[in-house]
Amino acid sequence: MARLVVLAVLAALLTPATPAPAQPSAATRAELPLAGRVVVIDPGHQLGNSRHRAEINQPVDAGNGQRKPCNTTGTATNGGFPEATFVWRVARALTRRLRALGAEVVLTRTTNSRDDWGPCVDVRGRLGNAGFRGWDRPADLKLSIHGDGSLSGGHGFHVIVAAKPDGRAASTSFGRTVRGALHDRGFRDATYTAGGRGFTYRSDLATLNLSEVPTAMVELGNMRSAADARVMASAKGQRRYAAALAAAVRRHLR
């Protein structure tokens, strides 16, 4: 018996290992639908913002001659599930989908940690602009992901784009594509804002005002709504949101 065991071990050691799956070639990657595209994903807030009040309360440029606090803490469900964590998980799932389609994805934050804060909204707004932080070309799109905290008891999502006339058409087109893709996945327009249309313009958000590329912000649901919160806190719901947003990016860039 001992001899058989030894022979089995030797056979296993001498058997060639199964080769790892071949990585896609450069030519294959170039054929992917979003090859060569650069998408900035902005997961709102940061889990540690509440521990760094002094830092996030410092005023920064918000565009349109305004100054606003660097950042805010974000909201949470009534059960305590943070917006920062919700949007981080959706952003990560979205990133995986977009990279599988060939896109280069840049996240405005790369952690979801109670030890970290920011980045400030002016940085979030400018990331992706040509010339900012050494970028030699503008990103193709930017999508800022949030969860709302309305206490009205309303439910549903809404998309926001900048009210500025310069570049508004491209952002409006992208925003409406985001709205349509969310509808396709069964999500419905917010009942508590934007007149129930799920789409609005704002002139006070640095993330939108300071961006020079087509940009949309989406409040994916009202985290204070029990119905929305159940979806937003679930892995299945987060994947549904990510699938809808990936479809919107692909649809807009194709």
DSSP 136: S
Dist CA 41 CA 21 (whole Å): 29
Q: In this structure, what are the phi and psi dihedrals at residue 251, rounded to the nearest 5 degrees?
A: -65, -45
Amino acid at position 135, single letter: W
Dist CA 116 CA 47 (whole Å): 7
Active-site pick, 55, 83, 104, 219: 219
Active site residue 55: no
Dist CA 94 CA 105 (whole Å): 9
Give the H or E element holding residue 124: helix 121-126
Amino acid at position 83, single letter: E
Q: Which two structure tokens, joined as six digits, stand for 51? A: 């521990």
Dist CA 76 CA 73 (whole Å): 9
Q: Cα 130 from chain centroid?
A: 20
> Look-up: residue for tokens 């599988």?
100
Catalytic residue annotation: 219
